[in-house]
C-alpha cells in the first residue's frame, strides 16, 4: 500500500511554451511523430555565415527543423516539458547547427556560466550525437551551454551496465575537436549557433552517406533530459535509437595536416639543507603531428609529447586499499581517437606509457573493421633493471557484425631488452532481442623477466537485459595468478568472480514527488583461481541493495545496505611475525562478516548553488590486521557560482577505521579540497587549487593478542612502523586556450607539510617542494 502513495501525483506539470519560428519550413522532422530520416539541405560554398549566435542568415530559413522532443530521464516516453528546435544545413566544408531552446519557467531558470572548455556539466547543455559511420554503437559528441561554451568527445557502447536502462551515459571528454559555437540568452530561453568542419570528423565519404544523429538536451533546474529521437530505456543501446541524416554528399574534408610545436620550461625546487633551496631547471621542445590521410584514416606522431597536467588528479580514497586507483588519460597525443583502443577489462591503459621519447599511431576504418595501431619508445623506467628504453606496441581490431554487434582482437607488447610482456586476445559483443546483449572475452599473456617465464589466461562472460522496468547483468570473470598486463589496468590476479545483479525501476506520474525509483540487488562471490575449479570455499562474498530515488525538482537520494564476508589468503601475509618475547609467525583470522549502510543526497542545480553529501557507517575489514573494524566514511561537495564567470568548488572526504577491541583508530584519511576559477574571457582563465591530504595509519597489531607486527627480513625482524602524511598542496594557473592545440600556461605549485593534521599553523608549515612551469604550443593547420 505504501508504494502507490509514494507515487501519488502532487502537482500538475506546466504546459510548454510552443515555438513560433521555423514553422514555415517544409523540412520539419518531428521526433515523436517518427519523422527521423532527415534530408539535410546543402547550401553553396559561396554563402558565408558568421557564427555569432544570431540565426538570421538566409540559410537558416531553408534549414531542416528538428522538433517534437521526448523526455528520457528520469522518465522516458513522454512529451518533453521544454520545447526545442534544432536547425540543420551543410556546405561543402562544414555542417551548421542552430539551437532554439525554449524555457517555460522564463529566462531566469536557464543555467549558464562562462566556463572553461569541457567544464559545463553544471549548466544547461545541448548535445549533438553524430554516428558518422552509422555503426549504432559509437558517436562523436559536440555539446554547448547557452553561451556557446564547448565540450566535446566520444561516446561508445561496449558492455557497461547502465543504471535504469541504456542511456546517454558518460562522454569521454578527452578528445578536443576544432569547431565554432556562439550562444546568447533570450526572453524565451536561449539560442546557440554551431559550425562543425568536416575536417574535424571521420566518416566514410564514399558517396551519399547516412549518419546516425540525435540531440540530447539537459535542463539543470529540473534534472530532466530530453531527446529528439524518442529513445526508450528498455533497449540495449541508446545510440542505435537515434534518427538519421540521409543523402549527405559532396563533402570536402581534404588531407588535413596539423602541426603543434610545444615549448616547455620548468624549475623544480627542493630543500637541500636548513635554509637552503635548490632548483633544477629543465627545458624541452616537443610536438605533435596529426595528418588526416583520408576522411576516415588519421596518422599521429609525437616527439616528447607533453605529460604535464595543468591540474593535478584529484586524490581519491581507495574503498579497498589492496588495489590501485584509475585515473583518466589527458595527454593530447593519446586521447585523439582513444575510443578505437577500447577493449573490455582495460587491457590498454595508456598512462602506463610514462614519458615517451617518441610515439606514433594510425587509426581508421576499413570497410566494417576499425584499425588502431600504437607504437612508442618510453623513457628509462625505474621498475626495470635494464638500462634500455621500453619499446611498446598495441594493435586493436574491431569488426562490425550486423548493425550493433562486434568482434574484436587485441595484441599488446612491452619489451625491455630481452624481457617482455605480451597480451593477445579476442572479444565479442552480441546484441539481440532489442534489449539483450552477451559479451565474451578470452585473453592470454606471456611474460619474461630474466630467466623466469610465466603466463596465463583472463576470461569473462556477460549477459545483460536492459529492460525499462526490469533488467539484469550476470557475469563471471577469471584471471589466472600468472596473468600479467603491463600496458593494461588489471589490479588483481588469481581469482574467479561470478556476479549477479538485478534491477527494478518504477516511475511516478507527471508531477509526482518521486519521479523514479531504481533498486539494484547485487550478489558477488570471489574465489581463488584454483579453489574455484577445485570446488573449495570462496574467499569473499558481498550482497547489497542499492536504492536510488529521483525526486521532483532535481533532488536525488540514495540508500544502500550491504552485507559481506571475507576470508584471508595466507600467501599474502607471508613474512609477517608477531613481536614479543618470542616471535611467532602471523596467523590470519578466520572468515569475518561485515555490514553497513550508505546514504547520499544531492540538491538540484540552482542558479548559484548545488551540493551533495554521502555517508557510510558499519563495519569493514582492516586488511593489515585481518580484523573487523568500525568504519565511518563521509563526503560532501559544494559548488557556488556567484557570477557567470566565477566558480568555486569545495569538497571534503574522510574515512576512519576503529578497532572493535578498544576503539583505537587504525586508519584515518581526511582530504579537504578547494578549487576557484575565474573566467576572465572565454579563452582566458585563472585557477587556484588547494588540497590537504591527512593520512594516519597506526602500527598494525595481531588480531588475537594485540601485540605489534613485524616483517621478517632474513636473519632480522623489522617492526612495521606507523605512517603519517599531512601535506598541503597548492596550485596556481593562468591559462590561455583560444582553440584546442593553441595554448599558453603559466603555473606555480608547492607542497607543504606539518606535524599536526589540519592545524594550518603558519609557523610550523614547512615547504617540501615547489615548481614553476611555462608551456606554449601553437596549432598550425
Residue 247 pLDDT exceeds 50: yes
Residue 326 pLDDT exceeds 50: yes
Distance CA 441, CA 344 (A): 8
Distance CA 575, CA 568 (A): 15
Q: Using alpha carbons only, how large is the chain's radius of gyration in Å? A: 28
Residue 628 pLDDT exceeds 80: yes
pLDDT tens column, 565-608? 999 989 889 999 999 878 899 999 999 999 999 999 999 988 89
Strands 224-227 and 189-197: unpaired
Torsion of CA 706, 711, 717, 723, to 10 degrees: -70
How many residues are given for the chain? 781
The verdict on whether omega for the bond into residue 74 sits within 30 degrees of 0, i.e. cis, is yes
| Angle, CA of 500, 504 and 508, to the nearest 5° | 165
pLDDT tens column, 479-532? 999 999 999 988 889 999 999 999 999 999 888 999 999 999 999 999 999 999
Q: DSSP string covering 145-162, please?
A: -TT--EEEEEEE-SS---
Give the residue among 145, 166, 142, 167 at the shortest CA–CA distance from 154.
Answer: 142
Q: What is the pLDDT of residue 323?
A: 52
What integer best gives the mean pLDDT of the chain?
87
Residue 257 pLDDT exceeds 80: yes
Q: What is the pLDDT of residue 520?
A: 96
> Could you give the C-alpha distances from 532 to 345, 478, 525, 539, in angstroms and in order?
20, 9, 10, 10
Strands 556-566 and 592-602: antiparallel
> Could you give the C-alpha distances from 183 to 53, 140, 454, 514, in angstroms and in order?
5, 21, 58, 34
Burial class (CB in 10 A: 0-12, 13-18, 19+), 328: exposed
pLDDT tens column, 430-467? 999 888 999 999 999 999 998 999 999 999 999 999 98
388 contacts 416 by C-beta, under 8 angstroms: yes
Give CA 760 to chain center in angstroms.
Answer: 33
Q: Which residues contact 441 (CB under 8 A, 6 or more apart)?
A: 344, 345, 425, 426, 427, 428, 458, 459, 460, 461
Structural domains in the chain plus CATH codes: 13-248 (2.60.40.1190), 296-308+323-491 (no CATH)
Element at 58 (helix H, strand E): helix 58-61
Neighbours of 627 (CB within 10 A): 20
Residue 10 pLDDT exceeds 50: no
Distance CA 218, CA 82 (A): 10
Q: Which of 103-112, 126-135, 235-244, 639-648 has the lowest mean pLDDT?
A: 103-112
pLDDT tens column, 681-728? 989 999 999 999 999 999 999 999 999 999 988 788 899 999 999 999
Q: What is the pLDDT of residue 97?
A: 97
Q: DSSP string covering 367-388, please?
A: TTEEEEEEEEEEPP-TT-SSSS
Amino acid at each position: 500500500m505504501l508504494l502507490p502513495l509514494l507515487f501519488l501525483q502532487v502537482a500538475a506539470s506546466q504546459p510548454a511554451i510552443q515555438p513560433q519560428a521555423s514553422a514555415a519550413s517544409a523540412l520539419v522532422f518531428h521526433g515523436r511523430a517518427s519523422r527521423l530520416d532527415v534530408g539535410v539541405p546543402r547550401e553553396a560554398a559561396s554563402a558565408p555565415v558568421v557564427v555569432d549566435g544570431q540565426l538570421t542568415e538566409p540559410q537558416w530559413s531553408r534549414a531542416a527543423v528538428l522538433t517534437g522532443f521526448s523526455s528520457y530521464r528520469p522518465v522516458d516516453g513522454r512529451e518533453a516539458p521544454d520545447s526545442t528546435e534544432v536547425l540543420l544545413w551543410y556546405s561543402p566544408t562544414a555542417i551548421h547547427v542552430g539551437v532554439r531552446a525554449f524555457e517555460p519557467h522564463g529566462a531566469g531558470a536557464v543555467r549558464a556560466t562562462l566556463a572553461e572548455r569541457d567544464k559545463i556539466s553544471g549548466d544547461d547543455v545541448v548535445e549533438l550525437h553524430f554516428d558518422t559511420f552509422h555503426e549504432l554503437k559509437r558517436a562523436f559528441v559536440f555539446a554547448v551551454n547557452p553561451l556557446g561554451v564547448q565540450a566535446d568527445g566520444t561516446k561508445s557502447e561496449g558492455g557497461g551496465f547502465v543504471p535504469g536502462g541504456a542511456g546517454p551515459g558518460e562522454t569521454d571528454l578527452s578528445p578536443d575537436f576544432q569547431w565554432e559555437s556562439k550562444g546568447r540568452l533570450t526572453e524565451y530561453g536561449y539560442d546557440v549557433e554551431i559550425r562543425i568542419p568536416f575536417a574535424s570528423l571521420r566518416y566514410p565519404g564514399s558517396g551519399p552517406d547516412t549518419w546516425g544523429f540525435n540531440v540530447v538536451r539537459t535542463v539543470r533546474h529540473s534534472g530532466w533530459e530530453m531527446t529528439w529521437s524518442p529513445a526508450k530505456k528498455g533497449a540495449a543501446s541508446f545510440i542505435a535509437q537515434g534518427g538519421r541524416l540521409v543523402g549527405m554528399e559532396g563533402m570536402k574534408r581534404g588531407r588535413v595536416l596539423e602541426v603543434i610545436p610545444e615549448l616547455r620550461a620548468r624549475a623544480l625546487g627542493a630543500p637541500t639543507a636548513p635554509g637552503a633551496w635548490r632548483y633544477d631547471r629543465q627545458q624541452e621542445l616537443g610536438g605533435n603531428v596529426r595528418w588526416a590521410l583520408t576522411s576516415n584514416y588519421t596518422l599521429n606522431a609525437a616527439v616528447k609529447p607533453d605529460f604535464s597536467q595543468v591540474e593535478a588528479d584529484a586524490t581519491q580514497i581507495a574503498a579497498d586499499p589492496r588495489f590501485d586507483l584509475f585515473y583518466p588519460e589527458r595527454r593530447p597525443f593519446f586521447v585523439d581517437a582513444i575510443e578505437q583502443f577500447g577493449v573490455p577489462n582495460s587491457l590498454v591503459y595508456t598512462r602506463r606509457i610514462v614519458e615517451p621519447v617518441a610515439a606514433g599511431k594510425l587509426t581508421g576504418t576499413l570497410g566494417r573493421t576499425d584499425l588502431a595501431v600504437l607504437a612508442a619508445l618510453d623513457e628509462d623506467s625505474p621498475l626495470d633493471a635494464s638500462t634500455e628504453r621500453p619499446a611498446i606496441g598495441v594493435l586493436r581490431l574491431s569488426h562490425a557484425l550486423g548493425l550493433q554487434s562486434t568482434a574484436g582482437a587485441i595484441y599488446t607488447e612491452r619489451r625491455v631488452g630481452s624481457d617482455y610482456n605480451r597480451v593477445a586476445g579476442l572479444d565479442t559483443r552480441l546484441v539481440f532481442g532489442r534489449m539483450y546483449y552477451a559479451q565474451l572475452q578470452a585473453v592470454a599473456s606471456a611474460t619474461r623477466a630474466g630467466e623466469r617465464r610465466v603466463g596465463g589466461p583472463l576470461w569473462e562472460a556477460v549477459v545483460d537485459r536492459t529492460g525499462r522496468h526490469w533488467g539484469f547483468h550476470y557475469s563471471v570473470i577469471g584471471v589466472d595468478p600468472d596473468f600479467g598486463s603491463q600496458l593494461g589496468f588489471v589490479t588483481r590476479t588469481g581469482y574467479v568472480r561470478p556476479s549477479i545483479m538485478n534491477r527494478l525501476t518504477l516511475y511516478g506520474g507527471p508531477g509526482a514527488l518521486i519521479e523514479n525509483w531504481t533498486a539494484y540487488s547485487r550478489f558477488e562471490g570471489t574465489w581463488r583461481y584454483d579453489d574455484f575449479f577445485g570446488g573449495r570455499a570462496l574467499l569473499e562474498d558481498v550482497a547489497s541493495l542499492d536504492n536510488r530515488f529521483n525526486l521532483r525538482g532535481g533532488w536525488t537520494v540514495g540508500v544502500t545496505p550491504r552485507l559481506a564476508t571475507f576470508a584471508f589468503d595466507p600467501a599474502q601475509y607471508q613474512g609477517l611475525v608477531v613481536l614479543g618475547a618470542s616471535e611467532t609467525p602471523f596467523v590470519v583470522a578466520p572468515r569475518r562478516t561485515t555490514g553497513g549502510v550508505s546514504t547520499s543526497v544531492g540538491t538540484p542545480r540552482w542558479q548559484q548553488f548545488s551540493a551533495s553529501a554521502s555517508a557510510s557507517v558499519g563495519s569493514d575489514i582492516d586488511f593489515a590486521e585481518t580484523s573487523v573494524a568500525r568504519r565511518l566514511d563521509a563526503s560532501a561537495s559544494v559548488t557556488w557560482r556567484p557570477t557567470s564567470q566565477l566558480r568555486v568548488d569545495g569538497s571534503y572526504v574522510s574515512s576512519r577505521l576503529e578497532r572493535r577491541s578498544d576503539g583505537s583508530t587504525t586508519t584515518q584519511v581526511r582530504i579537504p579540497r578547494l578549487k576557484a576559477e575565474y573566467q576572465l574571457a572565454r579563452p582566458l582563465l585563472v585557477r587556484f587549487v588547494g588540497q590537504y591530504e591527512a593520512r594516519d595509519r597506526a602500527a598494525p597489531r595481531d588480531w588475537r593478542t594485540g601485540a605489534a607486527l613485524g616483517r621478517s627480513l632474513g636473519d632480522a625482524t623489522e617492526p612495521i612502523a606507523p605512517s603519517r602524511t599531512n601535506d598541503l598542496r597548492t596550485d596556481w594557473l593562468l591559462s590561455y586556450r583560444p582553440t584546442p592545440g593553441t595554448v599558453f600556461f603559466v603555473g606555480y605549485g608547492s607542497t607543504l607539510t606539518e606535524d599536526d593534521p589540519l592545524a594550518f599553523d603558519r609557523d610550523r608549515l614547512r615547504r617540501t617542494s615547489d615548481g614553476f612551469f611555462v608551456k606554449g604550443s601553437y596549432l598550425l593547420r
